[in-house]
Amino acid sequence: MDFVSELAVARYEKIGEIVGKCVEKIEKPRTFSDVIDTVVTDKYVGIPIFLSLMWAVFQFGYSISVPFSDAIDVFFAWCAGIASRIENPYLASFLSDGFFGGWGFVLVFLPPIAFVFIALTILEQTGYLPRAAFVVDRAMTRVGLQGKSFIPMLLGFGCNVPAIMATRTIDDEADRKITIMVNPLMSCSARLPVYVLFAGAFFKESAGAVITLMYVLGIILAAVMATLFRKFIFGGSPSPLLMELPPYEVPTIKSALMSSWLRIQIFLKKAATILFIGAVIMWFLATHPWDATNGGELIENSYASMIGHAVEPIISPLGLDWTAGVALVGGFLAKEIVIGTLAMIYGVGEEGVADVITQHFTPASALALMTITLIYVPCLATLGVVRQELGSWKWTGLVLAYELILAYIVALIVYAVASVVML
């Protein structure tokens, strides 16, 4: 046991000694809450329970959202079809593929994200999430983090930007910096559309399990990198976690929906700015030079094709072609743009992408792309808040460098293993 832990233990022993002399304790019968805590906070079954609940959350979000996503896709496809009839070909292309196509590619993934937020909010309001922090504290301490880091890491499943800002509650500077540097490895809601599309297209019945695997992979990689940062850069030991577990409560539908709506608003604001602008930029790259591409019909002559072919030699060992290269470059603005870019390059709507990608990817290369999307450079907004919170371009550059290298190595391993397993 390290000095900080010994000091904390000694303090509580002294507190217990003083309280024992001043307070008369009356034994109370074990409550139903105590019985539940005995199970969910157990050091052996606590983490499997946590992982099972996370799988249930993402399976729920993926399964129940399908009809809502289909309705949104049909609506924007209808709008794009009307816009395509405009006589001016340039305006028709911009409205059909850039405007309505951009909004459609973004909003079609709102339902699964919304349902995941609702499920996480229910777990939070029941009082389970603080217990999850308690359960993972021991594991996090072993990898160089503390239990307080769990909440920002968990928030990262929604959006890495507020998650990184939430690290301000961590007192120890080393703990805070390590948490910031590994937080982008948490699968934010922006990556979920990529997981949903590729898992649904290639793994169908096992889609929920594959999506959960991506989230678990991010957690494992964050643990590995936190261990390395603690050992080779920051040194020392993480601060001990001291927290009071709140009572269990039954969440109300109203409170769950209101809390979820606040998180959904963040996505919608992002959709109205970065995502839509990114979709328009990708439309421009895919359709220009206008004469050379014949209005986007000859995508091979576009700026997007030039970018993709420049990246292709790097990603070809992962089973990926130039179209994936363009999508990954666009994903630097926001990860949701990966799907919109592929749809634009293939000249189809969101529903058609699921069919077309099976012609350009294999199950193994699909897993490789999902892995890269999980790990490689954070989106522009996340990168900005990383620079703000770390206060240095040097640390920010380190985050960019390690994520790029890690993404390539892990994706290469995933592709090699999957290629053998799925023969």
Residue 21 maps to a domain: no
Most confident of 27-41, 73-87, 110-124, 341-355: 73-87
Of 211-225, 249-263, 315-329, 353-367, give the lowest mean pLDDT range.
249-263
> Quick count: other Cβ atoms within 10 Å of Cβ 186?
24
Is the predicted pLDDT of residue 314 greater than 70, yes or no? yes
pLDDT band, very low/low/confident/very high, at 301 (cuts 50, 70, 90): confident
Q: Is the pLDDT of residue 295 over 70?
A: no
Which residues have C-beta within 8 Å of that of residue 261, sequence separation ≥ 6? none
CA 281 to chain centre: 23
Q: Which residues in 210-224 are b (16+ Cβ under 10 Å) and which e?
A: bbbbbbebbbebbbb
For position 369, what pLDDT does the model report? 93
Residue 349 falls inside a structural domain = yes
372-399 pLDDT, tens digit per residue, is: 999 988 877 788 888 888 888 899 899 9
Give residue 173's domain range.
34-239+248-421
Q: Give the pLDDT score at 107.
A: 76
Q: Is residue 7 part of a domain?
A: no
Phi-psi region of 295 (alpha: psi -120 to 50; beta: other; left: phi over 0): left
Classify residue 2: in a domain, yes or no.
no
pLDDT at 128: 80
Q: Is residue 14 part of a domain?
A: no
Helices 276-287 and 303-315, packing angle to 10 deg: 100
Which CB contacts under 8 angstroms, 24+ apart, belong to 165-171? Answer: 165/385, 165/389, 167/389, 168/389, 170/146, 171/239
Q: How confident is the model at residue 246 (pLDDT cuts 50, 70, 90)?
A: confident
Task: Give 238's pLDDT tier (boundaries 50, 70, 90).
Answer: low
Q: What is the pLDDT, as a whole number, of residue 5?
A: 63
| Number of domain units in the chain | 1
pLDDT per position as a tens digit, 40-60: 777 778 888 877 887 787 777
In a domain, 257, yes or no: yes
19 lies in some domain: no
The model's pTM is: 0.70
In a domain, 4, yes or no: no
When comparing pLDDT for 146 and 221, which is higher?
Answer: 221
The residue ranking higher by pLDDT, 193 or 395, is 395
Q: Would you say residue 1 has pLDDT above 60?
A: no
Between residues 3 and 152, which one has the greater pLDDT? 152
Q: Above 90 in pLDDT, residue 241?
A: no
Q: Quote the pLDDT of residue 373.
A: 92
